[in-house]
Amino acid sequence: MCQSRSAGRRDDTTGCPPSPPKLSSCAALVFSAGGAPPALAAKTATSTIPVVFSAVSDPVDVGLVTSLNRPGGNVTGMGVFNAALGPKRMELLKELIPSASVLAYLLNPSHPSQQNETNGAMTVARALGIELHIFRANSEREIEGAYAEISKLRPAALVVATDPFFDSQRDRLVALSARHAIAAAYGWREYVLAGGLISYGTDLPDAYRQGGVYAGRILKGEKPADLPVAQPTKFDLAINLITAKALGLEVPPPLLARADEVIE
């Protein structure tokens, strides 16, 4: 039997992560967790029941496993390493808008990988000769405030970090980008389908499929400690030409030719 349990509701006034669920009382054979917060909650709740995570940006960095090749313990799964792709999104925005000299970057300060992502973004900004401004938000109110400040800055474009809370606010983020006429890059194609300009990241459905494969192997007798953390092999570039037109942008043909999905 499959049963879904929430890791709790984030406090939108403080941005605090949810408390661990009472999983240790469940008669489960395997726990499946999507994203870092639920996976960390499951790991905290049990050291004996196998935990299989999906769509975790950096499993070592957030403390889920000690090694990708030999995770040890009762936790393994599929890493997507999407935070590490933030600099790539900056490069794509620079290719899309060659004149760009100022970029904004929106992060969730509560995300375990946010400092590493910040450092990576700063490094690429220096290499590209771009002035980078970091904005942080971990509540609905702070997202609205961040966009107000970004709009005042008038950057050439914005990178929105991949984050479970941001994903829950996808429509809000896309709508705010449109309202303030901000060219924004995201981590998942679902943002582009919702009206976002451009996305580059791992294939999210594939990450969950891989998590399901690992859960099946564990149910057949394999141990989580012996299953290396799976790494993505497919990366998707999606572009929304309708949004580009609304922003007055012309997508360079070489960039358009590399897109895996184009919304027209």
According to the model, what pLDDT value does residue 228 have? 95
Residues 49 and 106 in one domain: no
Residues 104 and 61 in one domain: no
Residues 100 and 155 in one domain: yes
Total count of residues recorded for the chain:
264
Q: What is the pTM of this model?
A: 0.82
Q: Which residues of 197-213 are buried (b: 16+ CB within 10 A; e: fewer)?
A: bbbbbbbbebbeebbee
Q: How far is CA 99 from CA 90, 154, 222, 229, 234, in A?
A: 13, 14, 53, 40, 30
In a domain, 19, yes or no: no
Residues 59 and 175 in one domain: no
The one-letter amino acid at 94: K
Q: What is the mean pLDDT of each run of 10 residues along the chain (264 residues)?
A: 44 41 62 86 92 88 90 91 87 97 96 86 95 97 98 97 92 98 96 97 84 93 94 91 98 97 96
Q: How far apart are CA 223 and CA 168, in angstroms?
A: 32
Residues 110 and 175 in one domain: yes
CB atoms < 10 A from the CB of 19, how many? 11
In a domain, 9, yes or no: no
In a domain, 155, yes or no: yes
CB 34 within 8 A of CB 53: yes
In a domain, 125, yes or no: yes
In a domain, 13, yes or no: no
Residues 172 and 122 in one domain: yes
According to the model, what pLDDT value does residue 224 have? 94
Residue 225 pairs in a beta bridge with none
CB 241 within 8 A of CB 264: yes
Q: Which of 29, 5, 3 lies closest to 19, judged by CA?
A: 5
According to the model, what pLDDT value does residue 221 have? 94
In a domain, 7, yes or no: no
Residues 223 and 101 in one domain: no
According to the model, what pLDDT value does residue 204 have? 79
According to the model, what pLDDT value does residue 22 have? 54
Q: How far apart are CA 87 and CA 41, in angstroms?
A: 29
According to the model, what pLDDT value does residue 83 have? 73
Element containing residue 135 per DSSP (H, E): strand 131-136
Q: What is the CATH number of the domain that holds 136?
A: 3.40.50.2300
Residues 191 and 97 in one domain: yes
How many structural domains is the chain composed of? 2
In a domain, 25, yes or no: no
Tokens of 197: 């300009």
Tokens of 98: 């060659």
- Phi first, then psi, for residue 211 (nearest 5°) are -60, -40
In a domain, 24, yes or no: no
In three-state form (DSSP H/G/I as H, E/B as E, the rest C), the secondary structure along 170-236 is HHHHHHHHHHCCCCEEECCHHHHHCCCCEEEEECHHHHHHHHHHHHHHHHCCCCHHHCCCECCCCEE
What is the domain range of residue 158? 83-202+236-263
Residues 134 and 160 in one domain: yes
Residues 192 and 98 in one domain: yes
CA 220, 60, 168, 189 dihedral sign is negative
Residues 139 and 171 in one domain: yes
Residues 45 and 122 in one domain: no
